[in-house]
Amino acid sequence: MKAVAAMALNRVIGRAGGIPWHLPEDFRWFKTLTMGGILVMGSRTLLSLGRPLAGRGHVVLSRDPERLCGAVGDWALFWERARNAGWKVRLQPEWEGWGGVGDREIWLLEGGAEIIAAEAESVRPVFLAGGAQIYEQWLGACGELFLSVVEREVEGDAVFPEFESRFEWVETVMRSEGFHVRRYQRRNP
Ligand SMILES: NC(=O)c1ccc[n+]([C@@H]2O[C@H](COP(=O)([O-])OP(=O)(O)OC[C@H]3O[C@@H](n4cnc5c(N)ncnc54)[C@H](OP(=O)(O)O)[C@@H]3O)[C@@H](O)[C@H]2O)c1
């Protein structure tokens, strides 16, 4: 599994449930990198997207998927938009492995640990896409990290975990106005 994230110089990745910068080039980079693959994310990150991302399967972690499905307010709006765009919500009892994740499917999983541990069986690339809680728990399961470094300090309430002791810098894969993207590989244990 590959991790993909964008982090400010002070390690901030989010604020008030959203991303505290607007870098369209970075969104384009994220889209190009992840297109055709499967995104693994926490329920708060899914909600923050406002809608699922076309061309990619979604595996979403929640301790209470039934609650999310039946929720009112922002979640109700999210599901309405997703269903109108042809997305299907699938729950853990239906899980048949990574090969069964369709492009227009959002899998809501409560016991994600064992499933994520088996991600190597996926023929499509699997990307750990945040947020803070999810990076904290599963960054160690990633062999590669694509990190967009936003070249300033930003106020926020979600931060990227310490990774420097576990990953080594390989190359800078792109540079753009205000950020650059570094590729890291996991150090040998
Ligand atoms: N800059 C970036 O690259 C980037 C990327 C992604 C997100 N973000 C930002 O990060 C912030 C969101 O991060 P966050 O830490 O608040 O939330 P998150 O990691 O996206 O999601 C947290 C939720 O995931 C579920 N969860 C966590 N651990 C679990 C486990 N072991 N088993 C099952 N479910 C589990 C829980 O959902 P339930 O509450 O449903 O139980 C929990 O509330 C937002 O500001 C977002 O914009 C930034």
Assess if residue 168 is contained within a domain.
Answer: yes
Structurally, the chain folds into a number of domains equal to: 2
Q: Which CB contacts under 8 angstroms, 24+ apart, belong to 45-50?
A: 45/129, 45/130, 45/131, 45/134, 46/78, 46/106, 47/17, 47/74, 47/75, 47/78, 48/14, 48/17, 48/18, 48/19, 48/131, 50/78, 50/81
- State the average pLDDT over residues 8-13: 98
- Express each pLDDT in 20-74 by its tens digit: 999 999 999 999 999 999 999 999 999 999 999 999 999 999 999 999 988 888 9
Q: What is the pTM of this model?
A: 0.97
Domain check: are 27 and 58 in the same one?
no
Q: Which residue, of 105, 124, 143, is where some domain finishes? A: 124
Assess if residue 130 is contained within a domain.
Answer: yes
Domain check: are 153 and 101 in the same one?
no
Residue 103: predicted pLDDT:
92
- Express each pLDDT in 75-110 by its tens digit: 999 999 999 999 999 999 999 999 999 999 999 999
Q: Which residues contact ligand 1 via a Cβ below 6 A?
A: 5-6, 13-14, 17-19, 41-45, 48, 61-64, 68, 110, 112, 129-134, 137, 158
Domain check: are 64 and 15 in the same one?
no
Q: Which domain holds residue 183?
A: 1-36+126-189
Instruction: Identify the CATH number of the domain in which residue 8 sits.
Output: 3.40.430.10
Domain check: are 56 and 29 in the same one?
no
- State the closest ligand 1 atom to the C-alpha of 61, by its place in the atom list counted from 1: 34
Domain check: are 112 and 134 in the same one?
no
Distance from Cα 132 to the centre of ligand 1, integer Å: 6
- Express each pLDDT in 130-188 by its tens digit: 999 999 999 999 999 999 999 999 999 999 999 999 999 999 999 999 999 999 999 98
